[in-house]
Structure 1
C-alpha cells in the first residue's frame, strides 16, 4: 500500500454562499479564487538559464525541454478554472454526507433501486474541445493541481465523519474505444487517488456494462468523487460501446443517477461523434463548451502570450543552442 502524494487532512472554511454552507465536502476544498489569484496560481514559467550559459552545448540542448513546462494563463484558462470550481461545488450540493437523503440514496444504489430514493442530482457537465496538442489537457492539469487529489475527513464540527473524499478524478479513454475499458480505467484511477490497489484487481475479470457501472456507482458514492474528467473522448467508438443509446445511458447515469459532474474532453471530432449523445442527454449542455482555438494575430490573448512569454522561450533556446 502506498500513500497518495496529494492526500490531505480536511480543514474547513465556511463558505459565504448559502447553499454551500454546512457541507463538509465543499468547506474542505480550497477557497474560491479571484481571477488574479487564479492566474498567479496557474502560471508556470521555466527557470531563467542563469549559470547554465557556461555549460557545454550538448548539455544545454537538454534545457530546451524546459519550455514544455510553460503555462501562461489566458482568459480561456481563467474561465475554465471558474467553471470547474462551480462544477465541483454545485455537484456536492446534492450529496452532503451530513444529510440523511445522501445515505438513503447510497443505500438505494447498493440495492439497485435509485428510482425510489428520491435523489435529485445537482451535477452538471462541461465540454472541452480543441485540436490535438493545443493545450486542453495542460490547462486542465494546471487547474486540477489547485485541488488535492484526496481529502481525509475525521471530524466535522464535533461530529464524527470518517471519509476519504476524492474532489477530482481524471481518466483517459482507452484506445480500444470500449465503455468496458473506460470503466476499468476508472478503477485504476481510484486506486491511484487513494493510494491502495483495492479496486482494479478486484474487478479485472468483471465484464458487462451493467455490473461495471453498478460498481462504479458504489465506489464513486463511497469516495464522494467531485468531478470526473474524461479525456480523449474521441477514442470511444460507437460500435464498441453497443450503440449510441448505450453510450447515452452510460453518461446520463453518471450525471443523473450517481450525481457526479462530468467534463468531456476531446478533439473537435468529438462533437460530430457524440452530437446525438450530447443533444439528448438531459444535462448535456451544462456549463457549456470551452473551445480551445489558436488565437488570431489580432487577439489580445495572443498579444499577452507573446509579450509575457516569448522572452522566456527565446532566452532558454538561445542559451541552449549557442556555442560558448
Structure 2
C-alpha cells in the first residue's frame, strides 16, 4: 500500500467483494469499492466523540481549559439528515458504475470513442435516453453539509489499482470520489483548472493541467475532461459551494450547467452539488428539476428541531470544561436555541464561546451564559439567526448575505485556536461560513484515515 500523502489519497490494490443486493456481480469497479455493509456502519464512521473532560481536567488552569475547548472541533454527531444522505450516496456511487463495467461491450465502445476525441473535436453527442446522475445536498451555512460530505467520502479517497479480475487482465486506475469547490467567480475555466490540478496532485504521475492549458477554446475542454474522467474511472464528482454560480453571467452559467450535465451523460460519472438556499436565486427548484440537476434526488440539511435538537444538546453538554458543570435544563435549552436557531454550526460555536466567558469567572453554564453570548460575541449573527427562526424561503435565500465574513473568520479562530485554512488562497475568510464550528479537524481526519487504512488492510 503506497500512501499519497500530499492529497490524503491512498493507492491500494483492488480487492473484490460483491457489494450486495441490487447490484449485478462481476463489475470490478463496484466490487472493489470500500462500501459499508449497511447504513449503520456508515453512521458509525461519521461519528466521532473525543474524550470527555474529567474532574481532573476541570481543575486545570484557565488557559489549559480554554485550549482544550478546541477538542469540540473533533466532535461529529450523526443526525437524521446524515442517515438519509448516507443511503442516497451509497446508492449513487454504485449507480455511477452500473453502466460502466470495463468488460462490457458497451463500456469498451464508450471508452474507445472518448479516447479518440481531442481538444479540436466536437464533443460526443448524447442520446436522449442518457440521463445525468446528479444529487443535490442543500442547507444553510453551518448546517453540516460539507462536514458530512468530507466524513462520508474519506474511505473513498483512494486510488484503486486494478490489474486483473476473475483471471482476466484489467489495467486501470479508479478514483471513486473527488471533491472540489465551485470557484468564487462561478466560471467553467476556473472549475476545469481546479479539476485537472487536483487529479495531477492525487496521481502524482500525470500532467493533465498542462495539457488543459494548451487548449485555446473553452468549448474544446469538454473532450479532455471526458477523457480524464474516463481514464481515472471517476465515480462521484462533488462540487461544494455550488451557490457560487450566482457570480456566473448569462451564457457562462448556461455553458457550465450544460457542461456538467453532458459530462455525466457521456462518462457516467455522478455529480453531487452541495450548496445553500442562495442557489435558488439563479436556479429555483423547478429549474433544477427541468435541467436534470436533481435526478438522483435532493437532501435537505435543515436546522435541528425536536428530538434531533435534544440529542445534539445532550451530546455537547457532556463536554463542559467549567469547574461546576450542571444539568441541561429546559431554560438552558431554550436560551441555547435562541442563540443558534438550531443551526449546528451556530450551536457549537455558542457552546464554546459560552464556556470561554465562564471559565475563570462564574465557572458554570446556564441560560444567562447563552444570552450573554447571543448579545455580545455572536451579536453580528443576529440577523442570520432570525432568518433561520422565521424559516421562510425568502429569508433563507438571502441567508449567505447576512453572514459578516470578517466576524465569522474571527469566530473560527476562537473556536479552534488556529486560523482557518483557505483552499483557494483568497484570505482567511474566503469561502462560505459552512461548518466553521463543526468542520472535520486535522486529528479527526487523521483518525478517519487510519480507520480507512485498517479497513482496507483487513480486506486485503
Report the TM-score range of the alignment, normalised by the length of the smaller protein.
0.7 to 0.9
Give SS of 1:114's match. coil
Quote the residue 2:4 is aligned against. 3
Deviations 1:217-274 (A, max 9, x none): 0000011100110011111246447244323311211221221111111110113312
Quote the residue 1:77 is aligned against. 82
Q: Aligned to 1:20, which of 13, 24, 29?
A: 24
Structure 1 residues 146, 304: CA separation in 2 closer, same or farther (over 3 Å shift)? farther
Give SS of 1:202's match. helix
Q: Aligned to 1:47, which of 46, 51, 68?
A: 51
Structure 1 residues 269, 153: CA separation in 2 closer, same or farther (over 3 Å shift)? same
1:307 aligns with 2:295: no
Q: Distance in 2 between matches of 1:8 and 1:2?
A: 8
1:219 aligns with 2:228: yes
Deviations 1:108-143 (A, max 9, x none): 123357348x79757521111111122110011111
Cα drift, residue 192 of structure 1: 3.0
Quote the residue 1:67 is aligned against. 72
| 8 Å Cα contact 1:179/1:241 also seen in 2 | no
**Worse-matched range after superposition: 254-263 or 54-63:** 54-63
Give SS of 2:212's match. coil
Quote the residue 2:149 is aligned against. 140
Q: Aligned to 1:294, which of 284, 303, 315?
A: 303
Q: TM-score by structure 1 length?
A: 0.87
Cα drift, residue 72 of structure 1: 0.3
Structure 1 residues 30, 140: CA separation in 2 closer, same or farther (over 3 Å shift)? same
| 8 Å Cα contact 1:295/1:302 also seen in 2 | yes
Quote the residue 1:114 is aligned against. 124
Q: Distance in 2 between matches of 1:238 and 1:62?
A: 39
Quote the residue 1:252 is aligned against. 261
- Larger-Rg structure: 2
1:29 aligns with 2:38: no
Structure 1 residues 179, 113: CA separation in 2 closer, same or farther (over 3 Å shift)? closer
Q: Distance in 2 between matches of 1:243 and 1:205?
A: 21
Structure 1 residues 218, 313: CA separation in 2 closer, same or farther (over 3 Å shift)? farther
Q: Distance in 2 between matches of 1:131 and 1:165?
A: 33
Quote the residue 1:210 is aligned against. 219
Q: Distance in 2 between matches of 1:273 and 1:184?
A: 23
**Worse-matched range after superposition: 64-73 or 226-235:** 64-73
Give SS of 1:154's match. strand
Cα drift, residue 186 of structure 1: 1.0
Q: Distance in 1 between matches of 2:67 and 2:129?
A: 53
Q: Distance in 2 between matches of 1:130 and 1:207?
A: 37
Quote the residue 2:380 is aligned against. none
| 8 Å Cα contact 2:177/2:237 also seen in 1 | yes
Q: Aligned to 1:233, which of 232, 242, 257?
A: 242
Q: TM-score by structure 2 length?
A: 0.63
Quote the residue 2:406 is aligned against. none
1:181 aligns with 2:190: yes
| 8 Å Cα contact 1:106/1:221 also seen in 2 | yes
| 8 Å Cα contact 1:178/1:237 also seen in 2 | no
User: Structure 1: which 5+ residue stretches go unaligned?
Assistant: none
- CA RMSD, aligned part only? 2.9
| 8 Å Cα contact 1:7/1:149 also seen in 2 | yes
| 8 Å Cα contact 1:10/1:28 also seen in 2 | yes
| 8 Å Cα contact 1:168/1:226 also seen in 2 | yes
Quote the residue 2:446 is aligned against. none
Count of residue correspondences:
320
| 8 Å Cα contact 1:7/1:152 also seen in 2 | yes
| 8 Å Cα contact 2:238/2:271 also seen in 1 | yes
| 8 Å Cα contact 2:46/2:152 also seen in 1 | yes
Q: Distance in 2 between matches of 1:20 and 1:122?
A: 20
Quote the residue 1:100 is aligned against. 105
| 8 Å Cα contact 1:254/1:260 also seen in 2 | yes
Q: Distance in 2 between matches of 1:119 and 1:104?
A: 18
Quote the residue 2:340 is aligned against. none
1:57 aligns with 2:62: yes
